A = this chain, B = another copy of it.
Amino acid sequence: MTTETLIRPERSPREAEFGDLYAQVQQFYSHQMQLFDAHDADRWAATFTEDSVFDVPTLDTPVRGRAELAANVRRNQVQQERSGDRLRHWIGMLDIQPGRNDELHTRCYALVYITPRGGTSKVLRVCVMEDVLVRVRGKWRTRHRVVTRDDLD
Contact = CB atoms under 8 A, between A and B. Distances in A.
Interface of A: 3-4, 6-9, 11, 13, 15-24, 26-27, 29-31, 33-34, 86, 88-96, 107-109, 111, 113, 115, 118-126, 150-151, 153
Contacts of A96: 27
A26 B31 CA distance: 15
19 contacts: A3-B3, A4-B6, A16-B20, A19-B19, A22-B27, A23-B23, A27-B96, A30-B94, A34-B95, A34-B109, A90-B93, A91-B92, A91-B93, A113-B126, A115-B151, A121-B123, A121-B150, A121-B151, A122-B122
A15 B20 contact: yes
A121 to B, nearest CB: 4
Contacts of A111: 90, 113
A11 to B, nearest CB: 7
From DSSP, what is the main secondary structure of chain A's interface residues? Answer: mixed
Given A6-B4, A8-B17, A18-B20, A118 B34 contact: no
B107 A34 contact: yes
B22 A119 contact: no
Interface pairs A-B: 3 shortest CB-CB: A19-B20, A22-B23, A19-B19
Given A7-B6, A16-B20, A92 B90 contact: yes
A60 to B, nearest CB: 20
A144 to B, nearest CB: 19
